[in-house]
Structure 1
Amino acid sequence: MQQNNGLDKNQLISFFIFSIVLIGFMFYFQNRQMKEETEQNAKTARTEQAGKKNTPTPAANINPDVKPASIQTVSLKDGEMNLQFSTLGGQLSKVELLKYKAYDHTTDNADLPLYLIDRNNSSYGFQFKDRAGKVINTKDLVFSPEVKGNSVTFTSNINGALIQFIYTLQPKYALDFHVKTQGLQALTSDAKADFVWDYSVRNLEKGRSQEQTHSEFSYAFNNYKSYDYDGRSTLDEKDETLNWIGVKQQFFASVIESKTGFTKSTGNQDMIEQGEYLKKFSFDGQVPMAGGEISQEFTWYFLPLDLPLLKSYDKNFDEILPLGWSFIGSMNRWFFIPMYNLFSSWGIAAGWVIFLMTILVKIILSPIMYKQHKLSAMMRVIRPEIEEVNAKYKDADPMKKQQEVMNVYRKAGVNQFAGCLPALLQIPIFYALFRFFPNFIDLRGKSFWFVKDLTAYDDVIKLPFKIPFFGWDHLSIFALACTAVILIYTIMTSGNMQQPQQEGMPNMKVLMYIFPITFFFFLNSAASGLSWYYFVSNAINIVIILVIKYWILDEKKIHAMIQANKAKPKKEGKFQKRMREMMEQAQEQQKQVEQMKNKKK
């Protein structure tokens, strides 16, 4: 971020805008970072989890009324998914995405099978009341399976009524789910059934805090036209008909679509601070029963959050990918993603793709940066005149002194507020990249130098302790390098900055040196691709400053231009006029207040 010489409003605006945004990001995304208390506890937890993998949960523990021997599993498989179903509840018991791997915390490699559902972390079914008021839940029923090709039919008999779940495996990570009943009207008079889904999302990525933050409810309504999400503790959409409801993670989502829609939908989510799960989700939505019978069509989707794939369904699934709202999302969809795809098609490493992206962005912004550095040089040339004004009106009314300073700027043809533009442009770019790097699935698992995954932090430097409040047990090399170049850039651009002329005014040099430290607190647990991008970006900034200073801008020519500007008749702009009028009005009000005080005396 370029800073001008002199203590003017654009510096204050630039600093506080960036500080508020970055500090806000830092606290929001660091709050929830919790890891194992000690390495020994982590080893113990992993041992217990390994034991669970080898010891299936007895069916009697799930449903005491069902004998373990009566519970079976059946499978469906294609090139994308390996699915297993349990005859208890006739529901999915395992969903493995075959083209992806999950991160293994014990080996620091992404080499584990990727299960979205496994070991009872998902449970769903339909519940309704019989005529005596007793709740019947299909999760408690035992079904008989029949497999035909890519389809499996589960049938259960309850007091003479038949309930059938028919699953059919489809391409593109889809599973059709047809629910039919026969004779149910003799048991119930309900006009609706509750679909209840409990789901604990698994930790699949390296950065637990980052993945936990990105895990939330996602849903569409208004005939697929509207989309919303909920990362809070509760979901309440009783007035909308949801076309689909899903639980999104950082790179994957589990979604169920109802052809008739879910009504009276409610849900809640609870954080899980440690272990193999991140959050526990519960959803309850109603589906209609016609004449006491259920005949509903659903589709399960177990989606990698790949933008072309999501758009191909034409169900508003692409909104699940959190690329940012409005202009931010458009920048990612139509600029950063196509640019990444273009450069990566050349067959170069992902880190060098990011390097080329950084250079292209800098080229696009170069005219603005040139104007900013030119403004900085002009401010440096007129600095002696500003100091003269400050000395002349040292004991005068501050408003009068500010007016005189503005007159110096105006006569020299310097718009001191123009320096805000590059800072303001950096905000949407930063936020777009902040959304891009940790959510772009093409970067997932891509290594670069010592970084194993550019969508997660690098932790080559491991600490023997955790840093209080933040919970870190590592230092990111890219974050440290990025902080260093930002500090160098800050020193270069604030070397001639004026010290505050009034008591109580902040020392901008000190504040600007704090900025890189603030940035490090955010980057240390952020995606390493983002740190690498900003390291390259600020390194290029330093080169640009040196080139402009020593080869492009000539301060003698700038001084001559300023003198020529002073000789020209000045046309006051609307903004400058408004500022002058506001200052004059404030000065007049101040005089009136002083006169009133003198009269009272």
Structure 2
Amino acid sequence: MYDRKTWIILALCGALIALNIHYSAKNRQDQQAKELATPEAVTANTLPATAGNPSSALTVETSPPPTSEELVVLENDKVAFQLSNIGGGIKFAELKDQKNVGETSQVQINRHGSGPIAGLVGPGEILDNTSYSYVAKDSVEGESAVYITKLSTGIIVRKTFTLEKSDIPGKEYFLRLELVLENSIQSNFDISQYDLFLGSAAPLYQKERPTHTGIFWYENGEMHFNAATKFKGNMISSEKSIITSASDEVIGFAGVTDQFFTTVIRPEKAERTRVWGKPDLVTLNDGASALNAVRGGISLPSVSLEPGRRLTLNYSIFTGPKANTMLRKLDNTGEMGEGWGDVMQYGFFSPVSRLLNSILNFLHTGLSHLSTHESWGLSIICLTLIVRICIWPLHAKSTRSMKRMSKLQPIMAKLKEKYADDPNKLNTEMMGLYRKYGINPLGGCLPMFIQIPIFFGFFRMLDYAVELRDQPFLWVDDLSQPDTFAHILGIPINVLPIVMAITSALQMAMMPKTGDKMQQRIMMFMPLMFFFFCYNYASALALYWTTQNIFSIGQTWFMNKIPEPELVERKGVAKKSWVQRMAEKQAEMQKIKNAGGNMRDVTPEATKKKRPPRTGG
């Protein structure tokens, strides 16, 4: 039997042991939280996901993160990045030198986003708007911001956003993201269950075409773009709720875009990840109809994170204008990887658009010293004149060919009357007539064929020329928008397209009359077609087309002052051309067919006279 003293001593020893165990565990937890909150410790302890020696259970800061939204601003001369603790990402990026159409407010990238850029997205593409703690002691005021939290899955997340410090083109629009993940549970965790949110892209103004807005990704050297309209489906396909990339492809970067601005998230190293996009609807103004928008995400790499292990991932986040010159320079530096220039989405005529944009910016650099107010409009006019001067020789040759063609009209009228019932023979004779006088029937169309890639290249270039936003010229307030002068019965009166249509009609009236009446009517209809095409488009395109028309009128007037070309027969053209021989052969086959003959027997051997069989003697 133990006496009372013995029991008291045993009880005190037990209490001391219990207290020691309790405070030792608490000290270990506090020390581990401190190590996780220190950037140097995270970097030093970054290990491959397959490494062993798991550490003990981890915890984050003892005080719970705030539930109300708190913003931290990282800014430079061009962008103010508004970071939110809800979701731990970029709530929006405000561009200081870009205003909304017809407003005084600044453009805010991701202003319609359902969550912050670089926020985490869980399974089912559902945003995880967990509240993060802002680590003030680790953040560098005005240059970086650090957020940390523990997700419901048990994964500890630390995000460090830092303003870009390297001297790269467009560095003001970049943020560096260091993403640290630590597994605090007792089993492996596949981090590819989470995605980084790309944000949301929506039209900037009510009349913007929905094809401008979309999601894209750069995969194995090729850009993939899906407009917001692709989610609607069509006559042969059903509506899509999601668009995804192939899961086994290497993705260089991904982003969402509107007409002039884009968000891009680029991993430090291209990985086999998945990109997804979903449709959204946004309303820009009260009472206005809803517009198509898109949101998306890029998954984290497929890595199985062992218990107690940490993994560091680095990303570059771009939120800024789609400026061709800047993006091409990023490609040339190589520091930020390749594919930046393809963000412009110029399409099939991309080489033409890139060249024209480079020349336009070069001209603006010089002209801005003469006039800051009219410089961009003058640059478009000068670029148009340069293009027209370069194709002057082709246009002059085309005009002479058309004049010679017009002199053949009386002869061709007689041929049409003579061979009215034999179109194949008529075609053969007309070919012989062209060859006899050395006329190329397509000569008058050559400049038009040359202008097709130039026109569409100009069209695409001006379509995405963020340089023209909010730039005035004469009565035009914004070269990227229609030059609406007034409204009559709710109909906008746009001056430049009207001037363009008038000058186009004058140009057509001065051209030599060739072809039949139907062809001439089609040519006269073209000014009306271009009028409707350009009426509600950017005034920069109407300015280009009007300048071209005025130049062509002057060029045609000058060509009319040159002596008329003579219609002279060419010497040494007795031998029929290959086209003529083929046309005659076709006519001969048609005659045999009309006479009830067998087309299979119409061969050079079959048309020869057969020899009678030889007999003896």
TM-score for the superposition, normalised by structure 1: 0.75
What displacement does 1:521 show? 1.7
Letter in 2 for 1:407: G
What displacement does 1:298 show? 1.4
Residues 24-75 of structure 1: CA deviation (Å, up to 9, x unaligned): xxxxxxxxxxxxxxxxxxxxxxxxxxxxxxxxxxxxxxxxxx9985432222
3-state SS of paired residue (2:194) = strand
Q: Does 1:291 align with 2:305?
A: yes
* Counterpart for residue 226 of structure 2: 230
* Counterpart for residue 570 of structure 1: 573
3-state SS of paired residue (1:376) = helix
* Counterpart for residue 328 of structure 1: 352
Q: Does 1:421 align with 2:446?
A: yes
* Counterpart for residue 254 of structure 2: 245
* Counterpart for residue 399 of structure 1: 424
3-state SS of paired residue (2:387) = helix
What displacement does 1:403 show? 1.4
Determine which structure has greater relative contact order: mean sequence separation of CA pairs < 8 Å that are 6+ residues apart, divided by chain length. 1
**Aligned equivalents of 2:67 and 2:115: distance in 1?**
22
Letter in 2 for 1:245: A
Distance 1:142 1:521, change over 3 A: same
Flag as ranges the 4+ runs of structure 1 deviating above 6 A: 134-137
Contact 1:260–1:287 (8 Å) recurs in 2:
no
Distance 1:68 1:349, change over 3 A: same
**Aligned equivalents of 1:596 and 1:365: distance in 2?**
52
Contact 2:87–2:120 (8 Å) recurs in 1:
no
Contact 2:249–2:273 (8 Å) recurs in 1:
yes
Letter in 1 for 2:508: T
Contact 1:265–1:285 (8 Å) recurs in 2:
yes
* Counterpart for residue 342 of structure 2: 319
RMSD, matched Cα: 3.1
* Counterpart for residue 114 of structure 1: 107
**Aligned equivalents of 1:137 and 1:436: distance in 2?**
36
Q: Does 1:143 align with 2:169?
A: no
Letter in 1 for 2:572: P
What displacement does 1:270 show? 2.8
Distance 1:209 1:577, change over 3 A: farther
Letter in 2 for 1:583: A
Letter in 2 for 1:319: D
Whichever structure has more strand as a proportion of its residues is 1
What displacement does 1:401 show? 1.4
Report which of the two structures shows the higher radius of gyration computed on alpha carbons. Answer: 2
Letter in 2 for 1:547: F
Q: Does 1:444 align with 2:475?
A: no
| Bigger mean CA deviation after superposition, 322-331 or 240-249 | 322-331
Aligned 1:88-487 pairs, distance under 5 A: 88-103=86-101, 108-109=102-103, 111-118=104-111, 120-123=113-116, 124-126=118-120, 138-146=128-136, 147-149=139-141, 150-158=143-151, 162-171=156-165, 172=171, 173-186=173-186, 189-190=189-190, 192-197=192-197, 199-204=199-204, 206=205, 208-210=207-209, 212-222=210-220, 225-231=221-227, 232-233=230-231, 234-261=243-270, 263-270=272-279, 272=281, 274-275=283-284, 278-292=292-306, 293-313=310-330, 314=334, 315=337, 316-325=339-348, 327-332=351-356, 335-344=359-368, 346-347=370-371, 349-394=375-420, 396-465=421-490, 473-487=491-505
What displacement does 1:227 show? 3.0
Distance 1:100 1:184, change over 3 A: same
Contact 2:398–2:443 (8 Å) recurs in 1:
yes
Letter in 1 for 2:106: P
3-state SS of paired residue (1:451) = coil
Residues 465-485 of structure 1: CA deviation (Å, up to 9, x unaligned): 4xxxxxxx4242111111121
Residues 74-95 of structure 1: CA deviation (Å, up to 9, x unaligned): 2222222212222222122231
Name stretches of at least 5 consecutive residues in structure 1 with no aligned partner: 1-65, 466-472, 501-506
Distance 1:121 1:528, change over 3 A: farther
Distance 1:137 1:430, change over 3 A: closer
Distance 1:337 1:189, change over 3 A: same
**Aligned equivalents of 2:445 and 2:537: distance in 1?**
27
Distance 1:219 1:120, change over 3 A: closer
Contact 1:251–1:305 (8 Å) recurs in 2:
yes
Selected match of 2:559 from 529, 543, 548: 548
**Aligned equivalents of 1:271 and 1:541: distance in 2?**
46
Residues 332-378 of structure 1: CA deviation (Å, up to 9, x unaligned): 35545444544445445322222222222221111111111111221
What displacement does 1:302 show? 0.9
**Aligned equivalents of 2:155 and 2:355: distance in 1?**
55
Number of matched residues? 495
Letter in 1 for 2:207: R
3-state SS of paired residue (2:476) = coil
Distance 1:189 1:440, change over 3 A: closer
Residues 460-511 of structure 1: CA deviation (Å, up to 9, x unaligned): 232434xxxxxxx4242111111121122223326x34545xxxxxx12322
Seq. identity, %: 20
3-state SS of paired residue (1:152) = strand
Distance 1:72 1:119, change over 3 A: farther
3-state SS of paired residue (1:237) = coil
**Aligned equivalents of 1:125 and 1:116: distance in 2?**
15
What displacement does 1:248 show? 2.0
Q: Does 1:76 align with 2:74?
A: yes
3-state SS of paired residue (1:192) = helix
Contact 1:86–1:92 (8 Å) recurs in 2:
yes
Selected match of 1:513 from 524, 534, 554: 524
Contact 2:86–2:132 (8 Å) recurs in 1:
yes
**Aligned equivalents of 2:452 and 2:112: distance in 1?**
43
Contact 1:438–1:456 (8 Å) recurs in 2:
no
Residues 382-428 of structure 1: CA deviation (Å, up to 9, x unaligned): 2222222223323x411111211222221112111222211110101
Residues 198-219 of structure 1: CA deviation (Å, up to 9, x unaligned): 6332443x57324x32222232
Contact 1:154–1:165 (8 Å) recurs in 2:
yes
3-state SS of paired residue (1:596) = coil
| Bigger mean CA deviation after superposition, 585-594 or 150-159 | 150-159
3-state SS of paired residue (2:528) = helix
Contact 2:112–2:201 (8 Å) recurs in 1:
no
Contact 2:100–2:106 (8 Å) recurs in 1:
yes
Distance 1:120 1:227, change over 3 A: closer
What displacement does 1:571 show? 7.4
Distance 1:265 1:598, change over 3 A: closer
Contact 1:165–1:179 (8 Å) recurs in 2:
yes
Letter in 2 for 1:303: G
**Aligned equivalents of 1:161 and 1:271: distance in 2?**
30
**Aligned equivalents of 1:214 and 1:99: distance in 2?**
21
* Counterpart for residue 21 of structure 1: none
TM-score for the superposition, normalised by structure 2: 0.73
